[in-house]
Amino acid sequence: MDNKFQWVYSEKVKDHFIHPRNVLEDEAKYNADGRGIVGNIKCGDEMIVAIKVDKEKNTIAECKWKTYGCASAIASTSILSEIVIGKTLDQAYHLTAKDIAKELGGLPEHKIHCSVLGHKALRAAIEDYYTRSGMTDKVEEEKAHIICQCMNVTDIEIEQAVLEGARTYLELQEHTKLGTVCGQCKDKAIQMLEEYKKKHFSK
């Protein structure tokens, strides 16, 4: 190995990357109670999470997954699958990306979005189960709010930009193009930038 190469992840990330747990081997034959898919393989990481539910205890009995992506994405989904087994659906549904990153011993800032994808895929699988089971009242819809009217940029897109590395207003503009026409959204955008930095990266 090149002496200049340095592994920047924790040993737990390395372990789950090299020895992933609960991988979904045959998606077509796996009889899932709920299934969620997020991301896009054409432009980045894609994650599939499939769950089986213990309907008497209302807990997750099995959690299988398939991820197309980097070491952080694979490790995040692997450890997620271990964390949620035995948890109630409500506990698993409200697990956060920060919880996943903490279990991994931390992730580099520019890779935090990988734990967010795993978290979203799990939520999508649980929502799929709720929908199939006629419990749509339990689904918490994520509504986007437009922050930059000129460029049609939403709060969700601002959060994603922060997760992908935007730390300043200029970097946020480079990611989203917000504030490049009239500039009236600048103060609100800066406020949200700071809120999302605190949400995802504060200790």
pLDDT digits (tens, 9 = 90+) for 112-128: 777 778 888 999 999 99
Phi-psi group of 87: left, alpha or beta (phi > 0 → left; psi -120 to 50 → alpha; rest → beta): beta
Residue 41: the pLDDT is 65
Q: Which of 114, 148, 150, 185 is catalytic?
A: 114
Q: Is the pLDDT at 2 greater than 80, yes or no?
A: no
Least confident of 112-116, 172-176, 183-187: 112-116
For the segment 89-106, what is each residue's pLDDT rounded down to a tens digit? Answer: 999 999 988 888 888 888
- Catalytic residue flag (residue 185): no
State the pTM of this model.
Answer: 0.78
Q: Which domains does the chain have, with CATH numbers?
A: 11-138 (3.90.1010.10), 146-201 (1.10.10.1100)
Residue 54: the pLDDT is 97
DSSP 96: -
Q: Is the pLDDT at 186 greater than 90, yes or no?
A: yes
How does the average pLDDT of the chain come out, rounded?
Answer: 88
Q: State CA 54 to chain mean position distance.
A: 24
What is the longest distance spanned by two Cα atoms in the chain?
Answer: 57
Closest CA to 95 of 79, 107, 80, 76: 80
| 8 Å CB contact between 84 and 76 | no
The amino acid present at 80, given as its one-letter code, is L
For the segment 26-55, what is each residue's pLDDT rounded down to a tens digit? Answer: 988 999 999 999 876 665 678 999 999 999
Instruction: Compute CA distances 35 → 29, 47, 77, 120, 122, whole Å.
Output: 13, 11, 14, 11, 8
Q: Is the pLDDT at 56 greater than 50, yes or no?
A: yes
Span 130-152, average pLDDT: 92
Residue 5: the pLDDT is 45
Least confident of 15-19, 130-134, 140-144, 191-195: 140-144
Spatial separation of the C-alpha atoms in residues 151 and 201, rounded to whole Å: 27
Q: Which of 43, 63, 70, 182 is catalytic?
A: 43
